[in-house]
Structure 1
Amino acid sequence: MDARINELEVKLSFAEDLLEQLNLTVFRQQQQIEGLQRELRALREQMLASMPAESRSLRDEIPPHY
């Protein structure tokens, strides 16, 4: 009976360690996701700020040699 209890305690200890590692991994991934979302928002804002306010026609896109 003692051997069985010891075996269960060892398994529980490993399971708790694994759970802690998984929680830390999920926490780090969530931080990375939030950082990437901030960067994406900043890039989107930069792109929108750099776009001209007026719409351009296709004639503006024709190369000068035509």
Structure 2
Amino acid sequence: MTLATTLEERLTELEVRFAFLEDTVAVLNRTVAAHDRLLGDMREEFRRLRSELGAVRSSLSHDPASEPPPPHY
């Protein structure tokens, strides 16, 4: 085995590893992008639910001054 063969084998091994790492990074990038979209959707839904909850709370709040007097008055 010559020095050139050893260097060529090492270079080939590095190219294989680099290709694997490139693929891994691409997969992770797609996963992060999908999670980012999902998180944005969840934040928007949370805002909508918070707004709805505020509306429900205000409609259910009991203010005795706003009620008509009882019939015996």
TM-score strictly above 0.5: yes
RMSD over equivalenced CA pairs, Å:
1.9
CA distance in 2, matches of 1:6, 1:52: 69
- TM-score of the aligned structures, taking structure 1 as reference length: 0.77
Q: After superposition, what is the alpha-carbon deviation per residue over 1:10-45, rounded to whole angstroms, capped at 9, x for unaligned? A: 000000000011111100000000000000000011
The runs of 4+ residues in structure 1 deviating greater than 4 Å are none
Percent identity (aligned): 32
Unaligned runs of 5+ in 1: 58-66
Equivalent position of 2:21 in the other structure = 15
Q: Which runs of 5+ in 2 are unaligned?
A: 1-6, 64-73
1:35 alignment partner AA: D
Aligned pair in 2 of structure 1 residues 54, 12: CA closer, same or farther (>3 Å)?
closer
**Number of residue pairs aligned between Structure 1 and Structure 2:** 57
If the length of structure 2 is used for normalisation, what is the TM-score? 0.70
* Structure whose CA Rg is larger: 2
